[in-house]
Every structure is written in structure tokens, then in C-alpha cells.
Amino acid sequence: MVEGVVKGKICIGCKEFKLFKDFNPNRGFLQPRCKICSSLYTRENQMKLVVAWEPTILEIYEEFRCQCCGVKLKWYLSGDGSDAVHFDHRVGDEPINKPANFIKTTTPTDEKIALFESCDFGMVCRRCNKLLGPPEGRKERWIQQGEYINRGPI
């Protein structure tokens, strides 16, 4: 090794010379974008996919509204995300495990739209999503909670 030689390369995103440590590895090589530009590039592409899915989601659900409590929802995350769309796993064995990640990483082709629709996700707000809890044992839990509430004041 030659002393004084700095090991690095130019990022194709910001066009700056960066040290090798500033790049993520990719199959034995370094990614062409530095970590900062790669993160920005990923977010930009994810947002494009979210926007591309919006008309499809509106066609499936008709409006951005919680199917449990009726509160109006926003398609894009805003603030703390409390008014953002959340997808509820009604059954628990849907072929799509994380619908939000699916939307951010998948182009809405006819095949992918059909797959999403087959999952029959509920559209809910964050509060209702947390209240519903996991789909496994949900009905039994709600029956027990209803019995508890119907007992009256303590």
C-alpha cells in the first residue's frame, strides 16, 4: 500500500469523493451511491410507488376512512402518523405480511393488485389498529372484553 493514498470513490448521487466506508456493500462491491444519497434515493423511489398505488387503493376502499371508527385518514404519513392509513390483517395468514412495505416496494401491476386485493385488508386508523390487536384470537378477546364491559361499574 502506498502511504498517503486515500481509498474512496465518487458518489453518483452527490458527485463528491467519499471514503469507501461511506458506501454500503453490495454483492462484494460497493454501491454506486454513498449511504446518504442511497437513503434519499430509496425514499424518493418509495414515495413514487406510494403515489402510484393511491388510485388503486381508492378504487378498492372508495375513500380514506377508518372502517372501524369512521375517522378520515391521509394516504401519506404526516406528523406522528396517527391519521395515516393502516392496513389490518383480518385473518392473519395473508400472502402479504407487511402491506405498507409491499406498497413502498412494489409496482402496482395487475398481478400485484390482485394479490393485494386477495388479502382483504381492513383500512383503519392507528388507534383502531392498536385496539384490534393481532388477528389470532381476536374474536375471543373481543367477546371477553365485551363481557367485562357489560358487567357494569366496578
Indicate if the pLDDT at residue 111 is higher than 90: yes
Residue 90 in grid coordinates: 383480518
Residue 39 within any structural domain of the chain = no
Residue percentage of the chain with pLDDT more than 70: 94
Domain extent, residue 81, equals 53-150
Residue 76 within any structural domain of the chain = yes
> Which among 6, 5, 13, 7 has a CA at the least distance from the CA of 31?
13
Confidence category of residue 146, pLDDT binned at 50, 70, 90: confident
> What is the model's pLDDT at position 56?
95
Q: Tell me how many domains the chain contains.
A: 1
**What gap in Å lies between CA 70 and CA 52, rounded to an integer?**
25
Indicate if the pLDDT at residue 52 is higher than 60: yes
Helices (H), 9-80: 35-61
pTM: 0.70
Residue 26 within any structural domain of the chain = no
Residue recorded with cell 392473519: 92
Residue 2 within any structural domain of the chain = no
pLDDT in tens, 60-108: 999 999 999 999 998 876 556 778 899 998 877 889 989 988 998 999 9
pLDDT in tens, 26-44: 888 999 999 998 888 888 8
Cβ contacts of residue 83 below 8 Å, gap of 6+? 71, 72, 73, 74, 125, 126
> What is the model's pLDDT at position 4?
65
> What is the model's pLDDT at position 116?
95
> Which among 26, 18, 20 has a CA at the least distance from the CA of 42?
26
pLDDT in tens, 12-22: 988 999 999 99
Strand residues in 17-119 grouped as ranges (E): 17-19, 23-26, 29-34, 86-88
Sign of the torsion angle spanned by Cα atoms 46, 47, 50, 55: negative
> Which among 31, 125, 13, 134 has a CA at the least distance from the CA of 21?
31
Residue 6 within any structural domain of the chain = no
pLDDT in tens, 120-136: 999 999 999 888 888 88
**What gap in Å lies between CA 96 and CA 58, rounded to an integer?**
19
